[in-house]
Chains A and B, each alone.
Chain A
């Protein structure tokens, strides 16, 4: 990464249930941050140069949400900001701050308190273009149904292969404490699920849930003072395609392709299909996992489904994909999705993924998409 890398010296997760009536979002943030600080061995009041939270006002139900982040992160009267984006966008901000040479330790936080939302679909509807898309008054998931059909047609992947993604991820999630949407299911269970946005079936959509995540980043210079065996971020890329659905690339999403190219360039990766021990990739909808795998060059165009059927992406396969269970197995964490995936990769690289540990994990990729109706994503490459 322009000759440098940034360390992840600590991470924390709070609230392992689908709902979190026992804590407020502030308590959830506090618990995740304290865990991450303890793992990193840092005092947030002394050792941290900058704090970043990835959040969106409407998801929080509060305008100007950055008002409400400092105290529970130990960040009051310190350089503190929000990024209105995915957790990986927050990580990108932290990484860049460290690479300026003026910041040594940066904390990045993101959380989801989806259970506070009374109308999740209404919120997505509210994110649609108010002039061209919103007046259609359609359930916003119609965009996913259309995109799935477009992707399958262009790539040659099949409905059955998409269903297999659900089977893999929900079964993987049985082994993960975060896997609240895990299920021991078979292909026919998915195929017999009710289609609600043809060809997309109900069970193929990740369901909103709560949780808090926090990571501590450090410069190469100071990382080992805190953690002798950190995980290294060697590349991070992000990109937005057109916000207008009718103007964007549907079959091979440009946001994923260009984000990955940027991250690979920094990490010096020439052959992404051979570069990683595991991949944690956006699977907000079943087809998205296959589509993203092809867009970022892990699988050839039209090949992801076949590789999946051959078992390549299983936990003990050639290239485990979403061994955590992904969003289909663990849930949709909204702005925190990217941080969830990054921490899952870090856990694997630290041999901390108890029950679903990938063999000999040395490098991994976390990829996130901001969800409907956006065309924004980010990719992060991690190594030990």
Chain B
């Protein structure tokens, strides 16, 4: 037992879209089936299922994990739903990791799905109920308000311009043009972002990822089994997660300290001492364009305030020294909350195996990182992958 390595041997993603005709269960089924088939496996080879989906309020189903269980392949298997809000998509991979690393299981199907479109008239309405019952809810808050505060604080502290931040949106939406599952791939300019509608200053429409339906899945196996299913296993060598205080108003929003702590936990496990040299490619969480920059800094991939400069220099492009969000990220591929985190891990899996097709980055990558974020600007979840 203990300290055994866990490999990813298969991955699958459904198309991300604004309004899927399929139910969440069907989306989960399709993603799980694709992941299994990519590893030459069937459900019979799977000993347990780790599932995640974000707020039940989207689907309007209490105990949504139970509802999704058979679609996710959990029928008559040990099935668990883990949940850390927007961080769930990468956390569910950590959850799958500890199920296998514990020695209790040799194979695990990790599934994340989100069906946001069931929420009418718009899923943003469901977010009113994430706020504090007494202090915040009576204000009628939505997520855009608080992220506008955070973006503004980040820009102010480091004297960052909106033009610099908009470059992330331009990059990711263009990267998504090569991604067959992408919802809103687009060739846009910085000026397009700045000219788009202001939703909550300084957040413009093109600074934000869309609401989406979709699902993703991964197959995790123990090191003893990895080469039985693939010649190119991708190893989960580091995992980290961290949850900051509920009272988000009491901290300085310019820097995500919880992401730093999650990253340090993952780096320590992976034996990484110099992340800027040792991480070759990354999928930082980018539900907003400024978040990719914010997270690069929290992940210690650059100095505080340096991420916009790296972006301007093209370092984070696919042919750059540190490609970020080569998938197209949430800004281009879409943001079905829990599924989008799994999408990021899928992308790193394909990049490390050299299977990303037109999205394949120029540099040779041995170590990759995927990260998700969520709650009230509060949770960071990180995995470090190696080939």
Identify the A interface with B (CB < 8 A): 1-4, 51, 56-59, 61-64, 66-71, 75-85, 89, 92-93, 95-102, 123-124, 126-127, 129-131, 237-244, 247, 254-255, 258, 262, 266, 370, 374, 376
Contacts and interface: CB of A to CB of B under 8 A. Distances in A.
A89 B80 contact: yes
A74 B316 CA distance: 38
Given A127-B67, A239-B78, 16 more contacts: A2-B103, A3-B1, A57-B57, A63-B130, A66-B243, A70-B244, A70-B246, A79-B242, A80-B241, A89-B80, A96-B99, A99-B102, A99-B103, A238-B79, A239-B76, A240-B70
B59 to A, nearest CB: 8
A243 B81 contact: no
Contacts of B23: 131
A4, A68, A100: which has the most chain B beta carbons within 10 Å?
A: A100
Contacts of B76: 239-242, 254-255, 258
Contacts of B376: 67
B80 A92 contact: yes
Contacts of B103: 2-4, 99
A244 B74 CA distance: 13
A76 B55 contact: no
Quick one: which of A4, A69, A99, A258 has the most chain B CB within 10 A? A99
B242 A63 contact: no
Interface residues of B, number: 65
Give the most central of A61, A126, A243, A255: most B CB within 10 Å: A243
Interface in B63-82: 63-67, 69-70, 74-82
Contacts of A93: 80, 82, 95, 98
Contacts of A4: 1-2, 103
A24 to B, nearest CB: 9
Contact of A64 (B54, B80, B262): B54
B130 A374 contact: no
B156 interface: no
8 contacts: A2-B103, A63-B56, A64-B85, A67-B130, A67-B375, A84-B81, A93-B80, A96-B101
B44 interface: no
3 closest Cβ pairs, A-B complex? A101-B2, A99-B102, A80-B243
Given A70-B244, A376-B69, A376-B79, A100 B84 contact: no
B102 A58 contact: no
Contacts of B57: 57-58, 63
Nearest to B80: A89
A82 B83 contact: yes
A61 B98 CA distance: 29
Contacts of B3: 100-102
B180 interface: no
A241 B247 contact: no
A63 B123 CA distance: 12
Contacts of B63: 56, 58, 84, 127, 370, 374
Given A78-B242, A85-B65, A100-B101, A66 B80 contact: no
Given A101-B2, A240-B69, A61 B133 contact: yes
Contacts of A79: 240-243, 262, 265
Contacts of A51: 243
A240 B74 contact: yes
Contacts, number: 200
Contacts of A238: 78-80
Nearest to A82: B83
Main secondary structure of the interface of B (DSSP, over half): mixed
Contact of A97 (B86, B98, B257): B98
Contacts of A129: 67
A112 to B, nearest CB: 14
Nearest to A3: B1
Nearest to B99: A96
Contact of A80 (B98, B242, B257, B269): B242
A101 B57 CA distance: 36
Given A76-B244, A89-B80, A67 B85 contact: yes
B225 interface: no
Contacts of B86: 64
B245 interface: yes
B127 interface: yes
A239 B77 contact: yes
Given A84-B82, A374-B63, A67 B246 contact: yes
B91 interface: yes
B87 to A, nearest CB: 9
A245 to B, nearest CB: 12
Contact of B82 (A1, A59, A76, A81): A81
Interface string B230-257: 0000000000111111110000000001
Contacts of A241: 75-76
Name the residue among B64, B77, B82, B261 with the largest chain A CB count within 10 angstroms.
B82
A243 B243 contact: no
B156 to A, nearest CB: 24
A99 B2 contact: yes
Which of A93, A98, A131, A254 counts the most B-chain CB atoms under 10 A from its CB? A93
Contact of A63 (B79, B127, B378): B127
A337 to B, nearest CB: 13
B245 A71 contact: yes
